[in-house]
Amino acid sequence: MRDDPTHLAEQVSSVLRHLVLLLRRTVAGQPVTSQQYGVLGSLEGGPRRMTELAEEHAVQLPTMTVQINRLEDAGLVARGSDPADARVRTVELTGEGRARLRAVRQARIGHLTRELAALTEEERATLAAALPVLAKLGRS
Amino acid sequence: MRDDPTHLAEQVSSVLRHLVLLLRRTVAGQPVTSQQYGVLGSLEGGPRRMTELAEEHAVQLPTMTVQINRLEDAGLVARGSDPADARVRTVELTGEGRARLRAVRQARIGHLTRELAALTEEERATLAAALPVLAKLGRS
DNA sequence: GCCGGAATATTAGCCAGGCTAAGTTAGTTG
DNA sequence: CAACTAACTTAGCCTGGCTAATATTCCGGC
């Protein structure tokens, strides 16, 4: 019974709770919120339209509008227009936005790297093996 | 270089993002929010005081006050008093609260169980092996 | 060509859930 | 017993979700 799905589900549930709390602690008080960071990340490859951003982040369009408004006020992104379709607004990183993104990413990866460095080689291997499985969850 | 901490950190970061989005989808539209569910869970073993709850959930006391107000309005918890110290308020599950907790827990575990059942035996074993490692993160 | 419906965004107004600062009440201690 | 500390609550602010209601703009059929 040790490896039946229900028992495993309870364990996963408990670990997930731990990870969520950990994330909350890690993220608190950074120069951009985690949502803002996520949006900036989506813009790294070039301008995107509002609908794309909303879908990618699984939020409604008005939510993304507000989010982008804040980022625009902060000078991290700029709105533009699609010459081919006057309905669509595009959003792209400003120089400052790009710099901020880099800095926050570095801080986050650095934090996580230090956590992982505290593990043994074997534990890291175990974790690495499980990542593809975790990535598969919810895709079914 | 495949298993160095920084590279692994980037992968973990990406998987975490996936899991957070997954959780959000899973949780949306349930009869209690995930925070409320968490608080109800803390009360399962009997009455608790406000400070305890706030600490356990890593929020400030006023935040917990509001949370408990809502749960009380919904009839899921009841406030009481500590006879030994009139300053402290205790919080406990009502019958309805206990029933709701059971129902939501069952729904969540069920959902996760179905996800896990879609994996192969081997994938589940890989995941199970990684759980203790994940649980260790952030405890350093 | 233009009229109605679809697509793209935004605005407005609501709710949950965080926070800090300030206030109240009750214990504790010099 | 006066002053401090502890436990909560209230008030006011912010982020980040949502839906419903508006512009605008595009496109297809007549």
Q: Which residues are CB-contacts of A23 (< 8 A; sequence separation ≥ 6)?
A: A34, B16, B20
Question: A47-63: per-residue pLDDT in tens?
Answer: 999 999 999 998 999 99
Alpha carbon A26 to its chain centroid, in Å, reads 13
B82 membership: H or E segment, kind and range: strand B77-82
* β-bridge mates for residue B80, sequence order: B90
Mean pLDDT value across residues A13-35 = 77
The answer on pLDDT for A24 being more than 80 is no
Nearest to B67 by CA among B45, B46, B43: B43
Structure confidence by residue, pLDDT tens digits, B74-110: 999 999 999 999 999 999 999 999 999 999 888 888 8
Q: Per-residue pLDDT tens for B11-70?
A: 888 888 788 777 777 776 678 888 999 999 999 999 999 999 999 998 999 999 999 999
- Alpha helices (runs of H) in A1-140, residue ranges in sequence order: 5-27, 34-42, 50-56, 61-73, 95-117, 121-136
pLDDT (tens digit, 9 = 90+) per residue, B41-58? 999 999 999 999 999 998
* Nearest of A122, A138, A2 to residue B125 by alpha carbon: A2
What span, in angstroms and rounded, lies between the C-alpha atoms of B88 and B61?
A: 12
Residue A107 forms contact with B (CB below 8 Å): no
What mean pLDDT value characterizes chain A?
89
Give backbone dihedrals phi and psi of B26, rounded to 5 degrees, phi first.
Answer: -60, -40
The residue in chain A having the minimum alpha-carbon distance to the alpha carbon of residue B22 is A138
H or E, element range at A77: strand A77-82
CB-based contact A134 B125, cutoff 8 Å: no
Q: Note the pLDDT of residue B13.
A: 81
Q: Where are the alpha helices (DSSP H) in B57-94?
A: 61-73
Whole-number Å distance between alpha carbons of B140 and A87: 51
Handedness of CA B109, B43, A24, A58 (dihedral sign): positive
- Strand D proximity list, CB < 7 Å: A 33-36, 57-60, 62-63, 66-67, 70, 85-87; B 49-51, 61-62, 64-66, 68-69, 79, 82, 85, 87-90
Does the pLDDT at position A88 exceed 80? yes
Q: What is the mean pLDDT of residues A82-103?
A: 96
Contacts of A18 in chain B (CB under 8 A): 134-135, 137-138
The pTM (predicted TM-score) of the whole model is: 0.84
Contacts of B19 in chain A (CB under 8 A): 16, 19, 134, 137
